[in-house]
Amino acid sequence: MKRTGREELNAKKAIAKHIGLVKNDGYLEPYEDAIRGRHEHAVWKLNQFTDNGKRKLSDFASGYDYYGLHKTSKGWVFREWAPNATEIYLIGDFNDWTPTESYKCERIEGTGNWELNLENSAMKHGDYFKMLVKWQGGEGERIPAWCTRVVQDEQTAIFSAQVWNPEPYKWKRKRFVPKTTPLLIYECHIGMSQDAEKVGTYTEFKDNVLPRIIEDGYNCIQIMAIQEHPYYGSFGYHVSSFFAASSRFGTPEELKALIDEAHANGIAVIMDIVHSHAVKNEVEGLGNLAGDPNQYFYPGDRREHPAWDSLCFDYGKDDVMHFLLSNCKYWLEKYHFDGFRFDGVTSMLYYSHGLGEAFTNYGDYYNGHEDDNAICYLTLANLLIHEVNKHAITIAEEVSGMPGLAAKFVDGGIGFDYRMAMNIPDYWIKTIKEHRDEDWKPSSIFWEVKNRRPDEKTISYCESHDQALVGDKTIIFRLIDADMYWHFKKDDENDAARRGIALHKMIRLVTASAINGGYLNFMGNEFGHPEWIDFPREGNGWGYKYARRQWNLVDNKELCYHWLGDFDKAMLNVICGEDKFNETPLQEIWHNDGDQILAFSRGSLLFVFNFSPVKSFSDYGFLVQEGSYDVVLNTDSKDFGGFGFADDTIEHFTNHDSLYADQKKGWLKLYIPARSAVVLKKK
């Protein structure tokens, strides 16, 4: 039935009232009330924390200036939130680890806070200490929740807080604005970043690895395992002390020096922040700080994460929100981090933690199993982070695909700048495992690498640390497997090695060239690091053989690794050579699944792929903008371990076609060898 003019007008008015997220995606209209409800929940909580806008959210999130141990003009002051405690003492080197009246905290009347004021001589820089907390029916030694320095004794393996009051670090560069067009992320782990079989340090990373990252062309490092964690093998994901930079790798000042040096070289530094869960440990962590196991965590069945052997924060508590929001601001202000990659966001969003759910339609995101408290926290965290630093970068690691995660708050979104394109590595694993090379379909590849919501920016990647862990395989190992050990010396490559070298480059190029926000690579994967990651544990004799990066391999010009590393550098150089590459429209030129050919353009760049393992093509034609084109990158170049079948010095001219004269298009005919890709730039 045709609408009347009045009905059309009313319909337009109704659409105009839609929240931005729904305006951008009409399929979300049935769930608009749920989206609006989440938004209003966040606004309500924001108004509560800011006294209806009379102060900033940043003012609320400054708990680290109040809690913990601080040096004052009069001496020392210590404060802790422990509402269930009956007594709290500080014990440490300064009192022979014995509770005494002079180190006894007093409860601040009418609150759950405790306070202790001490003279200058009561403790000194470097002293180790803990809290002795008593509660009804029990007591225990604990590390303060707001502690900013925690150290593990090498002999006993026991963790203690440490009085830390050195000369303040003098920043060389106090203000830094990240380059994000595009954002090129080098994901890294300080401890396993060295060639030696040991735990690497912040200083060693600054001196030995950072120069490699700068040389390769990345403009951002994403550092894992910064927050203190009792078990090294947890990769930093079982956090115990949220405000303490891991002392395994050095001092706070050495971490600041690393960040300062990165900024001096135009490199942004973001940290992998873990607010999705916490370690169960009670002595080192928050599991039972003062006799109340639910002080920070959900009660009942929701307290423990069923898959991670950890505890789940109660985001519905204002004090927990205060703790976590203050944690975000702390790392930005005290260490000058440029933002965060939030770990385990899917686990936060749903009561089920996303376990065993398929998420096949929009209704799966709005069926009542979402944790509105966690969604509210993530929304406020993004508002806070961008209030503290308007140039800050926030990334969500989220696998369910919830709409609006990386959409603006004003549009009803949660407010992340980017979301991880976690579909892409899954796609590559599935393709390599399940399909013969002859069955790889360019149409499917192109659809997958650009499969995202138009109003949300993503970080695309072929593989991260997840795919490098024991029990999984990196792309290079899936392609070549054990032949890497025997046939990765130049002039000794077999067919498996040659195939792996070729596809490794093509997979990276098609993924990186289709980004709409940023690209990520995990440390060493750019050159095909041969070993998986396996941290010291009983099963490997507590060795560090697989918890390191063998830079000697890429430095050895007699081995094939440097070809992959050199290609990665060249690829990033081409991408950065196109102004605002990630904002440039991605336009398909051609695909043919039978030929296994794919071509697309971005600005002045033309990308052409031949995924066929056996078919090369002469004079393969593409209808493109008229003009001349130069080759700027070729995966088959001998410089990158290819065969060098094409002459890349040739200038390519389009052939005029009168049928397309009005579009100023002509035919560009190319020789495309099997299993290769070429990038051309229009003059």
Query: Distance between CA atoms of 643 and 499, rounded to whole angstroms?
Result: 12
How far apart CA 396 and CA 398 sit, in angstroms, is: 6
Alpha helices in 248-402 (DSSP H): 252-264, 318-335, 345-349, 372-388
Residue 650, number of CB atoms within 10 A of its CB: 12
- Using alpha carbons, select from 496, 445, 238 the residue that is nearest to residue 343: 238
* Among 574, 565, 448, 453, CA closest to 517: 453
Task: Mark whether 579 is an active-site residue.
Answer: no
Quick check: 258 and 210 in contact, CB under 8 A?
yes
Q: How far apart are CA 454 and CA 449, in angstroms?
A: 13
The catalytic residue among 343, 526, 566, 568 is 343
Q: Is 446 helix (H, G, I), strand (E, B) or coil?
A: helix
How far from the centroid of its chain's Cα atoms is residue 654's Cα?
42
- Exactly one of 284, 397, 463, 534 is catalytic; which is it? 397
Does residue 397 have an active-site annotation? yes
Tokens of 421: 């394109």
Q: How far apart are CA 329 and CA 386, in angstroms?
A: 10
Query: CA-to-CA distance for 324 and 338, rounded, in angstroms?
Result: 17
DSSP H/E element including 379:
helix 372-388
For residue 671, which phi and psi values (nearest 5 degrees)?
Answer: -95, 120
Q: How far apart are CA 257 and CA 254, in angstroms?
A: 5
Q: Which residues contact 276 (CB under 8 A, 6 or more apart)?
A: 312, 313, 342, 343, 344, 345, 347, 348
| Strand-by-strand arrangement of the 597-602 sheet | 587-592, 597-602, 605-610, 676-682, 628-634, 652-653
Residues known to be catalytic: 343, 397
